[in-house]
A = this chain, B = another copy of it.
């Protein structure tokens, strides 16, 4: 949870003069999100989200993200629609940061999604995969398998509060997964960070998908494996096959998986668990102890890697080849 930038009083009123979205009624920094600062902006016309991009977001990527969200919105996927000012500009300078104003999505995210939520999540993921087929923007996955070895090597010290040999054991897994990584699966634009906190529901109805700031071009089924990792494990670390079955059924009701995609699910799931393990381990070591944002425990994802590494086939996720 974080709001990194304070907005000066006059600045927001001046900014809104450039838009046709009404007069300011209220502005509240919200606690969601760790990468950027987010504000709920209410005018006499509507409610909006204003995002200021902090240093971890690469400004050169912003046009890709804005175009993707406009593309998905037009295609009927509920996601934050970037609002252009009177001159057609989306990106603005606000308090020295680059920022933008978006439509507000109803809904709350569920920490403990139900199988029905997982089913609806699977459906929307498949719809996004189909609806970005004609999207021409391109962004490489900076956190794909090519990056894992260097990312692990950049972690220079052993964490004294985590198991010893962790970096050595991780090196073995990195080498194993990278050498066996599938190269011929269908690719497209993936969300790449579709954790439960990035999906909004009103009751069981999925009302929106947010936070596209890791979206990139990669293996479609890899996106699904990220959701298997983030939606289908319980807090105690156990795997909930009812949830993964529901998710995969929802996905396949829109976009059936090929046999090759199904066969690759265990290695893709181990790989996506490894990707989050590595970034969490990096943050665990490199975040100052007095930082406002506490890093996530990397061990959660270490146990998930081990789980998928033991799995023999996609049957373990509720899929029968």
Contacts and interface: CB of A to CB of B under 8 A. Distances in A.
Interface string A285-296: 000011110000
Interface string A279-304: 00000000001111000000000000
Contact of A9 (B3, B8, B112): B112
A32 interface: yes
Number of copies: 2
A30 B27 contact: no
A26 interface: yes
Contacts of A29: 1, 30-32
Contacts of A106: 25-26, 42
Given A31-B3, A31-B30, A202-B24, A9 B40 contact: no
B292 A8 contact: no
A26 B111 contact: no
A28 B27 contact: no
A-side binding surface: helix, strand, loop or mixed?
Answer: loop
A200 interface: yes
Interface residues of A, number: 36
Contacts of A104: 26
A110 interface: yes
Interface string A37-64: 0001010000100000000000000000
A75 interface: no
The listed residue with most B CB atoms (<10 A of its CB), out of A26, A112, A202, is A26
Nearest to A6: B111
Interface string A1-41: 11100101100110000000001111111111000000010
Contacts of A12: 108
A107 interface: yes
Contacts of A112: 8-9
A27 B108 contact: yes
The listed residue with most B CB atoms (<10 A of its CB), out of A1, A108, A290, is A108
A289 B106 CA distance: 37
A140 B292 CA distance: 35
B30 A107 contact: no
